[in-house]
């Protein structure tokens, strides 16, 4: 097999990249180790930045999101039994965030690729990358996990295979610098059949630990609580989960959390991670393959979408005018945004979680930080600007150019 861009992984990064390349007349093949049903059913992210929504709209994959998504103009930060609204819309000059589940984005992108005759091979096994420092890099894999070995010869390879995929380790370790922080807490996430308890997301700091109230639809809600990352889900009965949620989200003004049957629950660990550079020879990493953020800032999927926009534009420059400069600068361009999202995600995580190793002094500093961001216009504007998503790098450049 031969293609222009071989894409490993059918997550948001791989699927959106393939979609963007198609719109630019560049062909690609996606290979994915899981089944279509599996990736379309995996519960993960829920919050899309304005830029991600704009991208989906501009490229014709937003119809269902516009009908079924929830558009929020603010979020609430809750601590000491009181809620404080951050008016994202007003503080950012009219930007919003959208709640629309990641697996729905995946379904929409797969449908768009199939409609356009795009090639996606699911259920592959034994994926490996070869000849990355030549002009004909190759991907080898087995169809249906253990079928015959197949090979795709490509002009370029996009490693969109998430944190555990084979792409990043294919960059020689002598070239790769990795930055990492492991947090001493995880999130227990649930889906529950209940109506929404609040019109907007609530991020709560409580001495028993962080809690987050999010939504999915008028009938299904998504909630999270901070737990020990090594804890086992079997230790968490539904009653125990609700008891914690009620305690951590309680206010002094009679607000009521509406509970219901829990239909899904799991625990995820939290880390921050960056791989620098995000490219080697003709391999380009995008999304979780290159960087991980803790979910408190809701940035992971959005960063993946930002990376592939940079990559699609760079590949377009190469194929239309032979200009390889944007490809050479891919890593540098992406990492500027990545580090700012890393900073924000780390900041939100540090501010909102209960740190069991903190001294009483440090707990007071945490409360002072919450008081500052919720009472100072400068503080809440900074949070709002980062939360809705910073502008894309080339847009920043355009702004600088206009100012000159």
Residues making contact with ligand PHB (CB under 6 A): 45-47, 99, 201, 214, 222, 295-296, 298
Q: Which stretch binds ligand RFL (CB under 6 A): 85-93, 161-169, 240-248, 380-388?
A: 161-169
Per CB under 6 A, the list member of 161, 244, 259, 393 interacting with ligand RFL is 161
Supply the minimum distance, in Å, between the C-beta of residue 47 and ligand PHB.
4
Residue 13 or 388: the one with the smaller Cβ distance to ligand RFL is: 13
Residue 125 or 359: the one with the smaller Cβ distance to ligand RFL is: 125
Q: Which one of ligand RFL, ligand PHB, none is in contact with 6 (Cβ closer than 5 to 8 A by kind)?
A: none
- Phi, psi (5° rounding) for residue 71? -105, 120
Q: Which of 204, 225, 263, 165 is nearest to 80 (CA)?
A: 204
Tokens 């890099």 — which residue?
137
236 SS3 class? coil
Paired residues of 214 in beta bridges: 222
Q: Which one of ligand PHB, ligand RFL, none is in contact with 296 (Cβ closer than 5 to 8 A by kind)?
A: ligand PHB
Tokens 């540098």 — which residue?
332
Near ligand RFL in 36-65, by CB under 6 A: 39, 44-47
CA distance 166 to 175: 16
In angstroms, what is the C-alpha Rg of the chain? 22
265 SS3 class? strand
Please give the positions annotated as active site. 72, 203, 295, 299, 387
Residue 255 or 346: the one with the smaller Cβ distance to ligand RFL is: 346
CA distance 287 to 241: 31
Supply the minimum distance, in Å, between the C-beta of residue 316 and ligand PHB.
32
- Joined together, the tokens standing for residue 271 give 């880390």
Near ligand RFL in 71-110, by CB under 6 A: 102
CB 152, CB 120: distance < 8 Å = no
CA distance 111 to 117: 10
Per CB under 6 A, the list member of 18, 20, 22, 32 interacting with ligand RFL is 32
- Joined together, the tokens standing for residue 227 give 């737990």
Residue numbers at the binding site for ligand RFL (CB under 6 A)? 8-14, 31-34, 39, 44-47, 102, 124, 127, 160-162, 165-166, 187, 189, 268, 287-288, 295, 298-302, 304
């Amino acid at each position: 097999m031969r293609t222009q861009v071989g894409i490993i992984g059918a997550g948001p990064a791989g699927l959106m990249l393939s979609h963007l390349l198609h719109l630019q007349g560049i062909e690609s093949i996606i290979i994915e180790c899981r089944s279509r049903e599996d990736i379309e059913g995996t519960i993960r992210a829920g919050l899309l930045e304005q830029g991600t929504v704009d991208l989906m709209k501009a490229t014709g994959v937003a119809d269902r999101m516009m009908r079924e998504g929830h558009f929020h103009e603010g979020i609430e930060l809750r601590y000491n039994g009181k809620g404080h609204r951050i008016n994202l819309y007003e503080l950012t000059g009219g930007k919003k965030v959208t709640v629309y589940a990641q697996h729905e984005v995946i379904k929409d992108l797969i449908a768009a690729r199939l409609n356009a005759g795009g090639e996606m091979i699911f259920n592959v096994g034994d994926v490996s990358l070869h000849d990355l420092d030549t002009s004909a890099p190759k991907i080898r894999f087995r169809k249906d996990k253990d079928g015959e070995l197949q090979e795709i010869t490509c002009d370029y390879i996009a490693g969109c295979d998430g944190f555990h995929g084979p792409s990043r380790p294919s960059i020689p370790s002598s070239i790769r610098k990795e930055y990492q922080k492991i947090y001493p807490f995880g999130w227990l996430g649930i889906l529950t059949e209940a109506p929404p308890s609040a019109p907007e997301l609530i991020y709560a700091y409580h001495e028993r630990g962080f809690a987050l109230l999010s939504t999915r639809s008028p009938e299904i809600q998504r909630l999270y609580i901070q737990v020990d990352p090594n804890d086992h889900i079997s230790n968490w009965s539904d009653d125990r989960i609700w008891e914690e949620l009620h305690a951590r989200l309680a206010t002094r003004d009679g607000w009521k959390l509406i509970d219901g049957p829990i239909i899904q629950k799991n625990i995820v660990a939290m880390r921050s991670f960056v791989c620098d550079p995000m490219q080697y020879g003709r391999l380009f990493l995008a999304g979780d393959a290159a960087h991980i953020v803790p979910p408190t800032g809701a940035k992971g999927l959005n960063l993946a979408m930002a990376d592939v926009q940079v990559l699609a534009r760079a590949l377009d420059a190469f194929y239309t005018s032979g200009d390889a400069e944007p490809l050479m600068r891919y890593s540098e361009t992406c990492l500027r945004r990545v580090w700012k999202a890393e900073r924000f995600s780390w900041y939100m995580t540090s501010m909102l979680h209960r740190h069991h190793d903190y001294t009483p002094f440090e707990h007071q500093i945490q409360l002072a930080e919450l008081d500052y961001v919720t009472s100072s216009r400068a503080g809440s504007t900074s949070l709002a600007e980062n939360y809705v998503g910073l502008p894309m790098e080339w847009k920043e450049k355009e702004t600088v150019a206009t100012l000159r």
